[in-house]
Amino acid sequence: MKRVMNLTRAMKLQLVKLKLNPDNWQYEKNTPEGLVLIHRVSGKTRTVKL
């Protein structure tokens, strides 16, 4: 099972700029290409550039 972590304050602010609700997302890993997010309810994965 993958380890998911809570978002930091800076990550939450970036998600708000991307029009995503930070309460619905956790992150799996922070890569140079971007942030790999996992939706808390549906489990879908999404990669966003920060």
> Cα–Cα distance between 6 and 17 in angstroms, integer?
18
Q: Are 24 and 44 in contact (CB under 8 A)?
A: no
Confidence (pLDDT) at 1:
57
Q: How far is CA 47 from the centre of its chain?
A: 8
Confidence (pLDDT) at 50:
79
Confidence (pLDDT) at 25:
97
Tens digit of pLDDT for each residue in 1-42? 578 999 999 999 999 999 999 999 999 999 999 999 999 999
Q: Name the pairing type of β-strands 25-30 and 45-48.
A: unpaired
Global confidence as pTM: 0.85
